[in-house]
Amino acid sequence: MTRTEEILRDLVAFDTTSAKSNLSLMGYVQANLADQGVASRLVHDETGQKANLWATIGPETEGGLILNGHTDCVPVEGEVWQSDPFTLTERDGRLYGRGSADMKGFLASVLAAVPQIRQMDLQRPVHLAFSHDEEIGCIGVRSLLRDEAVIAAKASACIVGEPTLMQVVTGHKGGRAYRCHFTGRPVHSSLAPQGQNAIESAAELVIFLKQVAQELAAGPQDADFDLVHSTLSVGKIEGGTAINIVPATATVTFEFRNLLEVDQEAIFARISAEVFNRILPEARQRFEGATASFEQIYEYPAHAIAPDAPLVTTMKRIVGRNDHSKVAFGAEAGLFLRELGIPTVLCGPGSIAVAHRPDEYVERSQLLASDRMIIDAVRSLCT
């Protein structure tokens, strides 16, 4: 195994499903860096059970490059794997394991590159920014981006190593998800007109959300995306207790993913207005105590960098490809841009098509390409 593969084997062995702590993995990373003479520190969440990591290699000057990746992964419960998902397994040049593509392969490449980076004549620093809870809405990295040391670094470029098959990705969609809770008045189903059916209110919202989704599909488009328009979908409906009881509660869970030029707040404002200006007043005509409320599950901004931006041009030269694309999945790039104004691209080993599914894998050739990319990016941007 190459050094990158050895580190990936170790990283995959940590079950960092988002519902669990990532501190054991972070302890491993800190020990790995310490062995190379690199100091690092953790930025914990409010529970103290999860953490981001920040480390700097090179001079304590402004500028330089951030190498960013998330340490959490999605669950394996209910999936059927050909091998243990937390034991890196090689078959036909593919390395199988949960998180191997998304995105511990990139983290392994970064850690494997540290000794060589340390030998370079760095004129600008290389920063490592490893985060928690990206998979549940890019939650963890936010506290890292508010950290004084990260702000003071004033980095001039960032590479987010999401699985892009080593293509330079110049943008991703933004996203928001909500639960809309309705309450009504339960009565025996034989007296249904005397009650207020919360599921009916929820159904009214679902019908409206379908209309909004159709309008988004007919709205602004960006040909760099596989799916060129913004999207909205309902993922879950819950409500009711029995067939003979008019439901007292119902919840609709939905999300939308937007292009940069489509205003997230405007989308939600329209949905909120429909609930509070039409659906709820109609419900209260039948029962004054009916309620409606929204609970935000997550939010992250869309991201874009110009195809002719210096960072994009440099990265295309490094990976030996003159094409670029944008991706529909969310990532932390939009937060690096929105919160710190750092030019950012996505580029990393593996394919998003095999992430979040059984037998996730990264090809060995992709890891080798990632190893070369990291060294060449540091050489181009920091020496």
What is the domain-level CATH number for residue 210?
3.30.70.360
pLDDT of residue 147: 96
Mean pLDDT across 167-178: 97
Q: 184 and 162, same structural domain?
A: no
CA distance 206 to 8: 43
Q: 60 and 184, same structural domain?
A: no
Q: 180 and 151, same structural domain?
A: no
Mean pLDDT across 21-39: 98
Q: 59 and 129, same structural domain?
A: yes
Q: 83 and 45, same structural domain?
A: yes
Tens of pLDDT, residue by residue over 308-322, are: 999 999 999 999 999
Q: 370 and 239, same structural domain?
A: no
Decide which of 300, 329, 350 is a domain's last residue.
300
Q: 80 and 131, same structural domain?
A: yes
Mean pLDDT across 156-184: 98
- The answer to whether the CB of 177 falls within 8 A of the CB of 137 is yes
Q: What is the pTM of this model?
A: 0.92
Q: 333 and 238, same structural domain?
A: no
Total of domains in the chain: 2
Q: 117 and 130, same structural domain?
A: yes
Decide which of 245, 278, 300 is a domain's last residue.
300
Q: 312 and 269, same structural domain?
A: no
Decide which of 270, 300, 330 is a domain's last residue.
300
Whole-number Cα distances in Å, 376 to 65, 66, 120, 180, 318: 12, 14, 11, 48, 6
- Beta-strand ranges (E) seen in 265-382 are 291-300, 303-304, 324-327, 344-346, 361-363
Amino acid at 288: E
Tens of pLDDT, residue by residue over 265-280, are: 999 999 999 999 999 9
CA distance 300 to 334: 7
Range of the domain at 235: 174-300
CA distance 55 to 224: 34
- Return the number of other C-beta atoms located less than 10 Å from residue 51's C-beta: 25
